[in-house]
Amino acid sequence: MSVEIRPATTSDLKEILDIDPVAEVEERRHDYVSLAMRGQHGRDVRVLVIDEELVGYAVMGEFFGHPFLERILTAEPHRRRGVASALMANIEAGFEGDRLFVSTNESNATMRELLVRRGYRVSGMVENLDPDDPELFFVIFKSAIDAQVEPAP
């Protein structure tokens, strides 16, 4: 099995949109991903590919001058198999700055569990973005990520 995490290319756009259920109902997702792939507002898009199949993607941006994981998505048949965790580990290993932010809806228990397992802590909440589903913001500090890396024997 070959696994690769790499920057997205324009040829990945169709596959990214194919695995994203929101893209089926919201045309603006196409524009968002397309512009992010071109680096709009300093964004960076990464994909995870298993055996030449694109199975996940992540969009990095900025939040009040700090790195911010704007979106992360795993293709339905590959969920709960470490795809999002692998993408996050890749992002965590290379971000610049002393902290990294991410947000998710309060209702997204799977993402909240992943963030807690990876050492993120709640940093705040914004209401009224989605009806009756507050957005929770999480942070992890570079020092916490560095502490998780065990030195080689």
What domains lie within the chain, and their CATH numbers?
3-148 (3.40.630.30)
Which of the four pLDDT bands, split at 50, 70 and 90, describes residue 111? very high
* Of 111, 102, 105, nearest in space to 134 by CA: 105
In this structure, are residues 100 and 93 in contact, taking their beta carbons and an 8 Å threshold?
no
Give the span between the Cα atoms of 39 and 92, in whole angstroms.
Answer: 19
Distance from C-alpha of 139 to C-alpha of 103, rounded to nearest angstrom = 9
> What per-residue confidence (pLDDT) applies to 91?
96
Closest CA to 134 of 153, 106, 110, 108: 106
Is the model's pLDDT at 149 over the cut of 70? Answer: no
pTM for this structure? 0.91
Report whether pLDDT(59) > 60.
Answer: yes
- Contact at 8 Å (CB) between 105 and 134? yes
pLDDT at 150: 57
pLDDT in tens, 4-55: 999 999 999 999 999 999 888 888 999 999 999 999 999 999 999 999 999 9
